[in-house]
Amino acid sequence: MNGVLLIELDGGGSVTGVSPLADSTTIRGLVINSFDSAGVRVGGDDVLIQGNYIGTDSTGLIAKPNLGNGINGNSTGFKRTSVGSSNPADRNVISGNQDSGITPNTGDDDWVVKGNYVGLGSDGLTQLGNSVPFVGPGGLSIDNCSGAIVGGPEVGATNVISGNKNFGIYPDNVSGLVIQGNIIGPDWKGEAFDDPVQLGGIGLPGITGPFVNTLIGGVNGDEGNLIAHNHGAGVAVVRLSLNGSPIQSVGGISILGNSIHDNLSNSSFLLSESGLGIDILDAEMSDNSSNTTGPTPNDPSDSDTGPNNFINFPILNSVEQNGSTASINFNLDAADGENDQYRVEFFSNDTPDPSGYGEGQTFLGATTVTNGNSQIANLTLPSGTNLADKSISATTTAIDSNATSGFGSTSEFSQIVTATQTLIPSPEPTTPTSSPISSTGNPTPATNLAATGDNLKLLFLIASLLLLGGLGMLAKKHLPRTKSYNKKIKNAKKK
């Protein structure tokens, strides 16, 4: 990151923050804190905000809150603001503010947010959350605007959005929102905090308007987000009601190709309390209740309505690995896809979610199908993949040619099944200096020479060891990460 910045603008709690009033203004290399409203209030088109600490001290490690947002758009329709970029030198630290970190609002279209730390200190390891717990909107509050892009698949575009005191991203009434390639919940290395405070990854409640063409992740390499280790649901799709009357319809939210896992339940925040990877729920505002939080069962013919139309998830019957191929038998009974077409995505998980319904730790592959029972998806797995005893889950996403992405509503994760193997995949090659590693990730057991009956070889080996004064062995176990995950970590790493 930028180390200690030298120019500090301290509002003393009684002064309005930095307010550029001209188009094409650049705000760079400043420490902006302690203002009585937003730290930066955008007042022109094509503004660049890069390389700043907003809401912290000059080290970027101690909160000095602005009393409003870190950055907001003033609700006056200023367009094409860029916050950060894919160049690490342009990374902003936007943390510690009393309201959300970043808030484009009414008419603030086509904002681009890339490569920032939102809710963390400049080390990417210290939680310095934006917002007030349970009340403020959290890290990014993107409202009443269109065309916002958060992150991206390119190197350096990853935002690390963690440590905030509500959801990491909390949009409302948006069109064309794209969220890709981010780390939401962990530190910049993708590791969990000992005491995570972020109350969910992405929350999508319909309050002032609908969601149109909202895409979380994607179907191409490195478009998926890492959404993990939040103290609440990974993604919550919520239809709010008041006295039984829905406030807004919520649908067409596509959640594709992400790594969503190890999110924790909580009992204090209704919208994310389940801790599911994806939770689709109705919530009643008058008494702060929900009868659909947690896994929502499928219904016959998928006739129910609600957020994302409560689209049915696949029913997994079996998963069998044969070498580098996984054959997955599943049923699908969904009713939201154009011409009855659906993308079914499959994931593996190291450990099952306590609910018995999956999260989605590692993306395995996808197939496009219509409804039917005992369908077979044959997935080609990366070399060395071992699914033995892994928990396998799946989602349904409707095909929708009218949507910008080509996709519509996504379901919750399915109930899990445990994978079996008929043929163990070949182990990865090892170097001469490392112990062989089996397909389970454990050292390969040594051959029992005595059991072979070849006692002469055994005696010869023992004698050789004694003459040589013993044999020292050093084994290191390397746990490979996926290409997509490694790239996200590289993107987020402090330069």
* CA triple 85-87-91, angle to 5 deg: 60
Q: Give the pLDDT mean for 346-371.
A: 95
Determine contact, residues 330/262, Cβ cutoff 8 Å: no
Q: Give the pLDDT mean for 325-351.
A: 95
Q: Give the pLDDT mean for 308-322.
A: 97
Site of tokens 């790594």: 259
- pLDDT, position 297: 95
pLDDT at 356 > cutoff 80: yes
- pLDDT, position 424: 63
- Scored b (16 or more CB within 10 A) or e, 333-346 reads bbbbbeeeebbbbb
Which pLDDT band, with edges at 50, 70 and 90, does 488 fall under?
Answer: low
What whole-number distance in Å separates Cα of residue 429 and Cα of residue 467? 31
What whole-number distance in Å separates Cα of residue 88 and Cα of residue 2? 9
- pLDDT, position 291: 74
What whole-number distance in Å separates Cα of residue 93 and Cα of residue 53? 5
Which pLDDT band, with edges at 50, 70 and 90, does 182 fall under?
Answer: very high
pLDDT at 159 > cutoff 80: yes
CA atoms in the 13 A half-sphere facing the CB of 269: 27
Q: Give the pLDDT mean for 438-455.
A: 30
**Bigger pLDDT: 425 vs 99:** 99
Mean pLDDT for the chain overall? 86
- pLDDT, position 439: 28
pLDDT at 152 > cutoff 60: yes
Determine contact, residues 277/360, Cβ cutoff 8 Å: yes
pTM: 0.85
Q: How far apart are the first and last CA of the chain?
A: 5
**Bigger pLDDT: 322 vs 206:** 322
Q: Give the pLDDT mean for 294-318.
A: 95
- pLDDT, position 266: 82
- pLDDT, position 437: 23
Site of tokens 């290399």: 29
pLDDT at 125 > cutoff 90: yes
Which pLDDT band, with edges at 50, 70 and 90, does 2 fall under?
Answer: low
- pLDDT, position 425: 59
pLDDT digits (tens, 9 = 90+) for 369-407: 999 999 999 999 988 899 999 999 999 999 999 999 999
**Bigger pLDDT: 484 vs 255:** 255
Q: What are phi and psi of 33, to 5 degrees?
A: -150, 165
- pLDDT, position 422: 79
Q: Give the pLDDT mean for 57-85.
A: 94
CB 319: neighbour CB atoms within 10 A? 27
- pLDDT, position 158: 98
What whole-number distance in Å separates Cα of residue 308 and Cα of residue 253? 7
pLDDT at 148 > cutoff 60: yes
pLDDT at 72 > cutoff 90: yes
pLDDT above 70 coverage of the chain, percent: 85
Structure tokens at 150: 């958060």
- pLDDT, position 426: 58
Q: Give the pLDDT mean for 410-429.
A: 82
- pLDDT, position 415: 97
Q: What is the 3-state secondary structure (H, E, C) of the chain?
A: CCCCCCEEEECCCCCCCECCCCCCCEEECEEEECCCCCCEECCCCCCEEECCEECECCCCCCECCCCCCCEECCCCCCCCCEEECCCHHHCCEECCCCCCCEECCCCCCCCEEECCEECECCCCCCECCCCCCCCCCCCECCEEEECCEEECCCCCCCCEECCCCCCCECCEEEECCEEECCEECCCCCCCCCCCCCCCCCEEEEECCCCEECEEEECCCCCCCCEEECCCCCCEEEEEEEECCEECCCCCCEEEECCEEECCCCCCCCHHHCCCCCEEEEEEECCCCECCCCCCCCCCHHHCCCCHHHHCCCCEEEEEEEECCEEEEEEEECCCCCHHHCEEEEEEEECCCCCCCECCECEEEEEEEECCEEEEEEEEECCCCCCCCCCEEEEEEEEECCCCCCCEEEECCCCECEECEEEECCCCCCCCCCCCCECCCCCECCCCCHHHHCCHHHHHHHHHHHHHCCCCCCCCCCCCCCCHHHHHHHHHHCCC
Q: How far is CA 357 from CA 217, 276, 297, 361, 418, in A?
A: 21, 8, 10, 13, 12
Which pLDDT band, with edges at 50, 70 and 90, does 24 fall under?
Answer: very high
Q: What are phi and psi of 120, to 5 degrees?
A: -125, 160
- pLDDT, position 76: 77
pLDDT digits (tens, 9 = 90+) for 458-470: 233 333 333 333 3
pLDDT at 137 > cutoff 90: no
- pLDDT, position 440: 27
What whole-number distance in Å separates Cα of residue 47 and Cα of residue 79? 8
Q: Give the pLDDT mean for 10-35.
A: 93
* CA triple 327-328-334, angle to 5 deg: 150
Q: Give the pLDDT mean for 280-294.
A: 84
Burial of 210 (0-12, 13-18, 19+ CB in 10 A): middle
Please state which of the ranges 86-95, 127-136, 182-191, 320-329 shows the lowest mean pLDDT: 127-136
pLDDT at 25 > cutoff 50: yes
pLDDT at 69 > cutoff 50: yes
Q: 454: left (phi > 0), else alpha (psi -120 to 50), else beta?
A: beta
